[in-house]
Homo-oligomer: A and B are copies of this chain.
Amino acid sequence: MATMNDVAREAGVSLSTVSYVLSGKRTISEETRLAVQSAIRKLDYSPHSGARALASNRSNVLGLMAPLRADVNVSVIMQFVAAVVTTARTYNQDVLLLTQDDAGGLERVTSQSMVDGLLMMDIEARDPRIPLLAKLRKPAVLIGLPDDPQGLSCVDFDFAGASRTAVRHLVDLNHRSIGFIGSPQASLERHATYADRARKGFTEACDAAGVSSTLRACEASMLALTEALTAVLDDGGATAVTALVVHNEGLLPLLHEALAGRGLHIPEDISVVVIAPEDVALAAARPWTAVSIPAHDIGRAAVEMVMDRLNSDKPVEVRLIVPTLVQRETSSAR
């Protein structure tokens, strides 16, 4: 492996000149710059990241703590992670992966100066990792919205707004009684905030519009879905439920069948709006009217926010990504 010294000798300049050519922190004459660059190419030089980290106090690595359990949301998680890695590369950063259950990992990678900043996914309302993170005094961004961010920046999709948007769409289509099929009970119990917020937004929007609402949590299985539909559709009381908002990607492959099993056709008998990643909404034979979860945008925003905090000292920031609804064939007026 060639070192910077080798390059300097080859180019007939000093070591620091090579360093400055690489960093651009000094104005260099066209001539020497070219000489250095050609020496770099000739020797196939690349800088030693450890040495650089030691001298500059920057590792060019971001730590990402991701939930790697086989949850319902795997595809969303993968999209987040992909977006984070891709965006990090545009900032010339790499990504070190930490698992959710290795809480000590946050502390470890920080105290060993392995990372310049930290991202944490799948935040719960009172996530015990937040105080840990806050203590570390490293730029950090939470992907999710806890009760108390304790001075950390956050970014997330506006799940409450997503539900509101879905409800308004259905109300505009003259639906007067709307059902909500949400995340599994387990998500609610561990207070994954996306689940709570989506439900809250739904209820509020229905109340505001004066339409009746029925909510139900649901596992990703046909059995659970059938039960949930029974509960929601038969329970409607005075006005029959004519539209559903579904916030659970795992159910989408099952939903057509389950409704057909009750003799209900989409959208003639029942309108459906899903809250799901775009590609999941489009994967179905009949694409869903959807408020799409822009996993990629969120991941990108998260990286941008850490990098901002790394390069300047911007104040903390809580950013909610605005939902948009795309009407497709699964919702119609009644």
Which of A147-155, A191-199, A233-241, A253-261 is the contact stretch?
A253-261
A59 at the binding interface (Cβ < 8 Å)? yes
Bound CA–CA A286/B1 (angstroms):
58
A313 at the binding interface (Cβ < 8 Å)? no
Bound CA–CA A44/B113 (angstroms):
14
- How many A residues have CB within 8 A of the partner chain? 56
Bound CA–CA A168/B231 (angstroms):
44
Residues of B within 8 A of A253 (CB): 220-222, 250, 253-254
Bound CA–CA A258/B50 (angstroms):
56
Contact of A68 among B48, B85, B114 (CB under 8 A): B85
Q: Are B221 and A114 in contact (CB under 8 A)?
A: no
Residues of B within 8 A of A284 (CB): 221
Residues of B within 8 A of A50 (CB): 49-54, 59, 113
Residues of B within 8 A of A77 (CB): 78
Q: Are A97 and B81 in contact (CB under 8 A)?
A: yes
Extra A-B contacts (7), CB below 8 Å, given A49-B53, A70-B79, A254-B254: A46-B112, A85-B99, A94-B97, A94-B98, A94-B114, A221-B285, A253-B253
Contacts from A to B (Cβ < 8 Å): 1, 44, 46-54, 59, 61, 64, 68-70, 74-75, 77-79, 81-82, 85-86, 89, 94-99, 102, 105, 108-109, 111-114, 220-223, 250, 253-254, 256-257, 277, 279-280, 283-285
